[in-house]
A and B are shown apart, each in its own frame.
Chain A
Amino acid sequence: MAAPARHLHIPVEHTTLANGLRVVASPDRSAPFVTVGVYYQIGFRLEPHGRSGFAHLFEHMMFQGSENAGKMEHIRLINSSGGLLNGTTNYDITNYFESVPSNALERVLWLEADRMRALKVDDENLRNQRDVVKEEVRVNVFNQPYGGFPWLDLPPVAFRNWPNAHNFYGDFADLDAATLADVQQFFRTYYSPNNAVLLILGDFEPAEAFALAKRYFEGIPSQPLPPRADISEPAQTEERRGEVAEKLGPLPAIAIGYTMPPRETPDWYAAAILDSILHGGRAGRVYRKLVLEEQIAVDAEGGADLLDTNGPTQMVSRIFHKPEFTSEGTVAVYDEVIEELQHTGVPADELDAVKVKFRADYYSMLEGGMGSHMPRFGLMHYLACFTLFDGDPNRVNTILDGFLAVTPEQVQAVAKKYLVPRNRAVLMRRPVNPGGAQ
């Protein structure tokens, strides 16, 4: 009934400059735009002790001015070229990216090089962005029902090593304690060309793009990198549990996180497929059981950040359940889903369907990934992760094969090995006011 699948091949070219900056280009002349990203291999996991939230605060500082582009200049130059820009802070990476008409490519590269070479900020900028970040935390966490659930709630319960377990958005006292000297130190330590990858995607000739990259970035000196910090977790021996008060929302919420196998191991591929069996939308087993069949939950979904993390990470199920059911009882029904998978495995037709959806979702991620505002955002993101974590951007063309080769036996084995209480954390958000708004 289906036509033959078209094999997708993404063109990828890459080089490393003399200062250690990796440059990855993926040309596509079909529309006159380029998406450019600079990814630094530093995320909130490795921010300094006593400075929770600093990696994210620092990301804001990267928009506050560099040697030749003062405050708001970076933003003005991108917007007035017809483009959009943003930055995000993640576990193991911080990224800065722009989508612009392709005639602005050289300008974008100049801007990114200028701030990689010489950030130029002052105390006033720091005070200003500290205020902005606090409002960001309030609007996303304190003043939202289920704010921070579970990305801020679960790590302190699930993990024991500070890099994995602290408040990534930052305690306000820690944000207040951050100084300009901290900003400069962090910049010197982590924002060097040899700790980064430059991605250029879209409408350009690769030779021209590499020449421009060399021209603007190669003169930036490399820096000795600190020894890789120990982000490993001590062995877990029993289930971990935690509770957080939900001050606004009326429904009880539960997050269940299982720590995943290390990146690029055979178990890791099988775990990604297992994740899709459990969480693949309304056909996923968790939604089907809890929302459609038993009708305990109002919503139940989840997922694992496997491709873009490089350290301890969890597959997390998020469940919002009706108030007439207990959270304990809800977890017990969830456990039936897990046990069934462990005992009877996955039928071949279900596995085949999950793989088709996995392939479709992968393509969708490559094409867009940030609404329709940042074309090829997902492709940029994966190219960066494959370069920084695995040393091979071409993995973007081969990684799917690994997921599609997973067998039913592997899925069942990984379910038995990883989906066990001694490998999980359970976090309950309990409403202070179960009736809702007064």
Chain B
Amino acid sequence: MIDSVPDTPLHQMAAPAVKAVGKRRSPSARRQQRAAWLFLAPACVMVALFVLYPIIKSISLSFYNWDGMTDKTFVGLANYVELFHAPTFYTALKNNLLWLLLFLLAPPMGLAIALYLNQAVAGIRLVKSLFFAPFVLSGVVVGLIFSWFYDPTFGLLALILGHGIPVLGDAHYVTFGIVFAALWPQTAYCMILYLTGLTGLNADQIEAARMEGARGWALLWHVVLPQLRPTTFMAMVVTIIGALRSFDLISVMSSGGPFESSTVLAYYMYDQAIKYYRYGYSAAIAVVLFAIMLVYIAWHLRRLLRNEH
């Protein structure tokens, strides 16, 4: 029986098979690839239709003068020239930067609250849901609540301080006032992300660290935070995006005023398009905002791709 096995060395027998795999995919691999493309197709179509097409359309529109009704006229870079000479554009840019910087307080504040809420005490569920509440509210509601809060005649702030400060009426305070209101739901959002992250912590590692003498800040810094890195990344992503597309609170609380001092790029764009019927100019603002976001998106994608490999 044993004699019937051909006396070929193992590596010679295996060689042709290895070559075939290297050159051409097996039928099952081809089938799998086809299935992968089929699954990807709906998403690709959607992205092309609702993301790529509007981007291209906006870029082309930004070279035209158009009020939405009469014919478009090609004006070349005139929209951009006007934009870079408009003081409001720089106000909006500065405010966007301010939003971005102040909004980055949301992840650490969310983490602090999550750490505080991450304990087994009776009634903690109720407290958690109270902290969770602002995240559920719509931006308009948050805006209204804070408008009343800041109101110099009957607002809670005036009651606390004893005298009214027109936060939303003062060009120096208005952006801070709106960002503070926006931080409320954003912190709640980050808190939820961190609470979820905290439940996934490896208890053995925490105990091992405790046995090694780590506690308090050292434990948080060396063992807990590294384990929460994916959560922190996620919290940063949603916060940065949230800061760059801030619009609803500004619209409700100040309409970009007073004297356009609290406007941001997204609101400026809306203002020019909807109130002044300047679609070409507003498209140019959109392109600039897109270019700013692109820097961030590129960084984000690079990170994602690197993590995959």
On whether the two chains bind one another, the answer is no
Interfacial residues, chain B to chain A (CB-CB below 8 A): none
Q: Which positions in A face B, CB cutoff 8 Å?
A: none
